[in-house]
Structure 1
Amino acid sequence: MTSSNPMAITTETAIHYDIEQAVRDRYSAGAQAPQAALCCPTDGYDGRYLKILPEEIITKDYGCGDPTRYVQAGEVVVDLGSGAGKNCYIMAQKVGAEGRVIGVDMNDEMLALARKYQATIGDQLGYHNVNFVKGKIQDLALNLDQLQAWLNQHPVQSIADLAALETEGDRLRREAPLIATSSVDVVVSNCVLNLVKPQDKNQLFQEIYRILKRGGRAVISDIVCDEPPTDVILNDPDLWSGCIAGAFLESEFLQRFEAAGFYGVEILARQEQPWQVIDGIEFRSLTVQAYKGKEGPCLDRNQAVIYKGPWKAVQDDDGHTLLRGERMAVCEKTFQLYTDPNGPYAHDFIPVLPQTEVPRDSAPVFNCSRDSLRHPRETKGVDYRATLPSAGDCCEPGNCC
């Protein structure tokens, strides 16, 4: 799937400060004392999961949504920009002893705060399933603690030393990645993606996609705006570190998931009233869910789906039009995406399987230019002439009248 809106989304405004340093300084201060203006307050967390959390973690949590509510038992979860660890410790309870939570942050003070209570909370739960690692969320293969350990032994004093540092970074990404490829069920983040530099945001979404397993999903809460931030806003380091200047355009936020290869991109929550309005531009929280897993060949196994409605027709991310009530021909891959009970589409479609299964190893390539309707004889077979009695006294599941 590719977006009709090419994702070369960058800002042309020259930014006259170090974005990463501004973010690091602001959140270092936020680890020392609560920052009331840092991101928008979030209500609605399930109080059951807050009972074991120290007050320090709760008061020094900065976010704009609650992606934790979408995590399930047994899952492996990565939290991008985990900060004080509040979301990680909530999810630790939700995924249970069979699950695992990894918090990623680049800020030493925040990591120290999150790790401070790690053993105590694990003892209270009866299991230890949370780990906090140091890394940049746009480079999830590079373990910054390991790179720092190497740097301590090999200080950079020349261009040759700098080249050696870069080589070591490449080696660590390849041989000891911070987060391995296709190793995670869910990636969550709470008001952190906007803090990344504009030139790194494409890589950020590619990294989220890389670490997810096939069928995995991203659930991201972040700040979006209804108009592009002005040059004045972009060049205010307090507004960048305060989750304003780096906000995504609302439509752009969803397009970035699509451009990275995700499907089933969906808005789960949208703040009705803006969190802030600056120069007439509205900034609000948005929570988006997106799935990974549409790679692979398109094989024709005589499968079809029926779109249930309520719309007369809908268009999927690949540009296929699905007509309400019609048997729509789909390839094997699309059939699985539409009917996966754990995916985003299953409640919208009725699967139609062929009378005789077409073996996968002999299935032809699906012809995407063919008529989109699947004739019943394709499903049943051209020579199908069976006459069958009623299967029972009732044609409707449940009670008969």
Structure 2
Amino acid sequence: MSYLETAAQFYSEVAQTPEIGLCCVQSTPMQLPGLKIPCKMQDMNYGCGTTVHPTELSHQPTVLYVGVGGGLEALQFAYFSRRPGAVIAVEPVAAMREAARNNLELAAKENPWFDPSFVEIRDGDAFNLPVADESVDIVAQNCLFNIFAPEDLTRALQAAYRVLKLGGRLQMSDPIATRPIPQHLQQDERLRAMCLSGALTYAEYIQRIIDVGFGQIEIRARRPYRLLDSETYQLEQHLLLESLDSVAFKVAIPEDGACVFTGKTAIYAGNEPFFDDAAGHLLQRGIPAAVCDKTAAKLGALKPSEIMITESTWHYSGGGCC
């Protein structure tokens, strides 16, 4: 049995018998006015963070959600796009599709504004998304892509890139590893299905996204997720997994490389009122300006005595230098 078949079997089991806290151990679903989440849907909150960022969801975007789970985030996206077929949820596991449909019917009884037609659940997988090229505004997935082996992760990212409109956004939440996960854990198919052994390091994860063509990435959140302790997992030392929420934009990659925003700022401390470099980055004296990591490195090296570069906050909400 392949690791993907093991994952399908595992999620078929938890679709029929919810395993509370399987992935999400700290966060609770976003509270939105007038949104009530059925208890069973909450119990099936198999995610490590969130992909639903309200500032991204104006103008009722068409959303493709990969791996429907219990339907919680599909319902949250529908809160912002209240029209039939606005959210397309793709799910390969039949039991999970059925569970999500049932949960959405429950949600319709508890939320007068919601109609189940707002979410269309389709049979399909992350590698062969059943929608046309450049047809959706947002592709989202929560705690799914980390299950994939690296080469399959690239296939899934390529599929997401294909279906996004130009300027569209890939919104993801996945575990990442603070150091490479040993082979004996990577090869444990059930641990991989449980989102505990397939995570890449931050640098590897971001580079995979860039390599398929996304020109700008913004980190929305980065926080502790799980600890793989040395005794249980046969490690030389404890290994921390983190949860990373990111938004990747389908825009061209600049000649000098992709822009990755992690919450860094540049602050000019020179004698003149403004600093303006050759690339057009304008800094007002004493006022922090959001910059991508690439620009931060360049400005910091250009005038280290006059430009302070602050550390990454790992919480960035848009705008910036590029």
Confirm whether residue 132 of structure 1 aligns to residue 107 of structure 2: no
**Cα RMSD over matched residues?**
3.4
Q: Which residue of 1 aligns with 2:321?
A: 348
Q: Which residue of 1 aligns with 2:57?
A: 72
Q: Which residue of 1 aligns with 2:41?
A: 57
Q: Distance in 1 between matches of 2:179 and 2:164?
A: 31
Q: Distance in 1 between matches of 2:26 and 2:139?
A: 19
The unaligned stretches of length 5 or more in structure 2 are: 230-234, 256-278, 302-316
TM-score, length of structure 1 as denominator length: 0.60
Q: Which residue of 2 aligns with 1:165?
A: none
Q: Distance in 2 between matches of 1:204 and 1:64?
A: 19
Q: Distance in 1 between matches of 2:300 and 2:84?
A: 42
Confirm whether residue 307 of structure 1 aligns to residue 282 of structure 2: yes
Identity of aligned residues (%): 26
| Counterpart secondary structure, 1:125 | coil
Q: Is the 8 A contact 1:314 1:323 kept in 2?
A: no
How many aligned positions are there? 273
Q: How does 1:250-265 map to 2 (within 5 A)?
A: 250-265=202-217
| Counterpart secondary structure, 1:248 | coil
**1:266 deviation in Å?**
2.0
Confirm whether residue 81 of structure 1 aligns to residue 70 of structure 2: no
Q: How does 1:2-401 map to 2 (within 5 A)?
A: 17-36=1-20, 38-48=22-32, 51-70=35-54, 71-73=56-58, 74-97=60-83, 100-119=86-105, 121-122=107-108, 124-125=112-113, 127=115, 128-140=117-129, 178-271=130-223, 273-278=224-229, 279=235, 280-294=238-252, 305-308=280-283, 310=288, 316=294, 346-348=319-321
Q: What one-letter code is carried by the residue in structure 1 that aligns with 2:214?
A: F
Q: Is the 8 A contact 2:21 2:43 kept in 1?
A: no
**1:292 deviation in Å?**
0.5
Q: Is the 8 A contact 2:50 2:142 kept in 1?
A: yes
> Cα deviation per residue 1:87-114 (whole Å; 9 max; x = unaligned)?
1011101223388111111111110011
**1:227 deviation in Å?**
1.5
Q: What one-letter code is carried by the residue in structure 2 that aligns with 1:125?
A: W
**1:264 deviation in Å?**
1.9
**1:259 deviation in Å?**
0.8
Q: Distance in 1 between matches of 2:293 and 2:48?
A: 31
Q: Distance in 1 between matches of 2:97 and 2:147?
A: 17
Mark the CA change 1:345 to 1:27 in structure 2 (over 3 Å): closer, same or farther: closer
Q: Distance in 1 between matches of 2:76 and 2:289?
A: 38
TM-score, length of structure 2 as denominator length: 0.74
Q: What one-letter code is carried by the residue in structure 1 that aligns with 2:44?
A: K
Q: Which has the larger radius of gyration?
A: 1
